[in-house]
A and B are shown apart, each in its own frame.
Chain A
Amino acid sequence: MGPDKEGKFGEFGGVFVPETLMVCLEELEREFQKARRDPSFQKELDRYDRLYAGRPTPLYEAKNLSKRLGGARIFLKREDLCHTGAHKINNTLGQALLAKRMKKRRLIAETGAGQHGVATATVASLLGFDCDIYMGEEDIHRQALNVFRMELLGARVISVKSGSRTLKDAINEALRDWVTNVRSTHYVLGSCVGPHPYPLMVREFQSVIGKETRREILKREGKLPNILLACVGGGSNAIGLFHPFFNDRSVKFIGVEGGGKGLASGHHAATLVTGELGVLHGSKSLLLQDREGQVQSTHSVSAGLDYPGVGPEHAYYQKIKRAQYVSVGDREALEGFGLLARTEGIIPALEPSHAIAYAKKIAPKLSKKSILIVNLSGRGDKDVELVSRIKNKK
């Protein structure tokens, strides 16, 4: 299941960073492996997960939605009910506790939709770290509410004006900060991307999603689900759901990428569907790039999916055909957003709205006995203003 000693999943992953960071990554891996085996660390993380983040999250059968679509029974893994409103807190709690063990004083993070930034600012406040969050200027406009939340929590939000002014550039800037302040600072990377050990570490902390889901569905239904469905930007919520089912070969994994204005338009973020092998942000994976190896700008209505790279483990799952990856465009995602709100009284974030939209496509084709689980990775409060602006434009 990987990764190997070099941090590789097959040909994907590895460590491609400036020499300045190498010793720090080695230390991070050592500390992570130690913590992973340390019962007191696990106990403390579990306590915060339960009493602070609100885990376990419900696995809710969306009967109205299932009935409306006809076909498969659809279950929602309610990560939107986590404290701070998304699955991101699972990872930031784990990494912040690790940073404490490593005696770091300061946390930095990148954020796209703002959810990871909020989750990092939250644990920084809880555990007493200084905190700086890098966010693309474009995303600051798209996700103004989350900017205010981060500031309320005591973090400083730094606007990134370079490049495409989105998630990719926020990661560049966070990496530059880390290279400069590596001795005092831990970089809380928010997705299963970046150099080893990040993809492994983020998977480990997010696997709580899949573990709970597996336990719960077996308990309630006495069988495994047929399909797991999750949106993929960098891919952390998807890997967290998929990974604990890796050996359950009957369970199909489907990851949904941001199709933006359509694959033919060139304005999309469908890295697994259309990308090619390359190296960005410290690891080898699929990448949206031009012939010269320059990274291309992406587009998705959802800031959290607007990223030209993807976690190396997803590239590996695709290569070995363990998972299938598809894309859903902006317009369909907005339909998914409205559909869930109207049928179930749940306003999803725009990111998992892509997964809802894909469920709408496939559920009618499945038998009434089959079980489809969608990871509802975050709630939609942050997107309400943006969606209303889009609707009013029409």
Chain B
Amino acid sequence: MNRIDVTFKALRKRKRKALVAFVTYGDPTPKVTERLALEFQNQGVDLLELGFPFSDPIADGPVIQRASLRALKHSVTLKNLFRSVKSLRKKGFLIPVILLSYYNPIFRYGEARFVKEAKENGLDGVVIPDLPIEESSPLLRHGRKRRFHLIFLVAPTSDAKRRRRIVQAAKGFIYYVSVTGTTGIRKHLPKDLTKDVRSLKRMTPFPVCVGFGVSTPEEAHRISRVADGVIVGSAIVRKIEEGMKERGLVERVGRFVSSLKKEVHR
């Protein structure tokens, strides 16, 4: 069984919600990313979403754009990322790892080879923000063969027809985009978010996790009351950015993640 499915099954049994924590691989360095991953596990993060930096991140706001630029300075490659995950697994890193990557690096790597090597090195799934369901059949095919999940996004603008189609192809969980817009920190989330998540949940047995714009422990709490999981990205990346030049970066980001975790499980 895929680690993602195992994790959600266990959470459901205990009536708990998932905290999905995002970091960009290589920000500020690949070594620090590995240490952050282990710290996240210690602080109770349920799934790790690892972003692969891309030169043209059209779905990302300024915080993750800057993280991508910092990471690209280390010329990180998918191969490096796979190696890092493999070494984390050897160090007792057990939680599911989902890659977030734009399509071109994966297309360039070769979809079959990508799925094979990702799975072999201990990754469990991938989210591709610029790959709609219409263009996803090769990856779905390779993924099915190796139980490697292609996670789909549903947006507030997705109509009923698209939602049905996405839900039918879904694996792992559904990534619900909370706002029409790019990733980033926001003061308020849309009012009809709760209603929309509830109606999506009625359409599918898969867990629904909410991401984009979740930035505070309070908000994480509010969302965890309706969704099966909360995805936090930019707010964590901003903590990394703020503390980059100081000592104790990993511990400080760990404390923030721990505060999120408390609210998600409250």
Contacts and interface: CB of A to CB of B under 8 A. Distances in A.
Contact of A180 (B55, B154, B181): B181
Given A16-B131, A19-B132, A295 B56 contact: yes
Which among B65, B108, B177 has the greatest number of chain A C-beta atoms within 10 A? B108
Nearest to A276: B108
Contact of A293 (B59, B60, B105, B156): B105
A23 interface: yes
Which among B78, B135, B154, B156 has the greatest number of chain A C-beta atoms within 10 A? B135
Contacts of B129: 18
Contact of A19 (B77, B104, B158): B158
Given A19-B153, A20-B155, A293 B130 contact: no
A14 interface: yes
Interface stretch (A44-52, A171-179, A261-269): A171-179
Interface residues of B, number: 40
Interface in A159-190: 162-163, 168-169, 172, 175-176, 179-183
Nearest to B130: A16
A180 B180 contact: yes
A346 B77 CA distance: 49
A23 B77 contact: no
Contact of B104 (A21, A163, A176, A295): A295
B54 interface: yes
B108 A163 contact: no
Which among B104, B109, B159, B166 has the greatest number of chain A C-beta atoms within 10 A? B104
Contacts of A168: 56
Given A15-B135, A172-B56, A294-B72, A180 B182 contact: yes
Contacts, number: 115
Contact of B153 (A18, A23, A175, A182): A18
A17 interface: yes
A279 B159 contact: no
B192 interface: no
A295 B68 CA distance: 13
Contact of A292 (B77, B156, B158, B182): B77
A19 B155 contact: yes
Interface in A6-34: 6, 14-24
Interface residues of A, number: 38
Contacts of A353: none
A175 to B, nearest CB: 5
A280 interface: yes
B181 A16 contact: no
B55 A175 contact: no
B103 interface: yes
Contacts of B162: 19, 22-23
A282 interface: yes
B134 interface: yes
Which among B75, B109, B134, B162 has the greatest number of chain A C-beta atoms within 10 A? B134
Given A163-B55, A180-B182, A16 B135 contact: yes
B58 A20 contact: no
Contact of A17 (B60, B61, B132): B132
Interface string A242-270: 00000000000000000000000000000
Interface in A114-169: 162-163, 168-169
B157 interface: yes
A69 B155 CA distance: 58
A16 B75 CA distance: 25
Contact of B107 (A21, A182, A278): A278
Interface in B162-201: 162, 166, 177, 180-182
A279 B107 contact: yes
A180 B61 CA distance: 11
Which among B56, B109, B162 has the greatest number of chain A C-beta atoms within 10 A? B56
Interface in B135-155: 135, 152-155
B108 A293 contact: yes
Given A18-B59, A22-B132, A179-B59, A293 B158 contact: no
B55 A16 contact: no
Contacts of B153: 18-19
6 contacts: A22-B155, A24-B157, A163-B55, A181-B180, A278-B104, A284-B107
Given A19-B177, A20-B158, 9 more contacts: A15-B135, A16-B132, A19-B154, A20-B156, A169-B56, A179-B58, A279-B107, A291-B108, A293-B107
Q: Which 10 A-B pairs have the closest CB atoms?
A: A293-B108, A293-B105, A180-B181, A20-B155, A293-B104, A19-B155, A294-B55, A295-B55, A175-B58, A19-B153
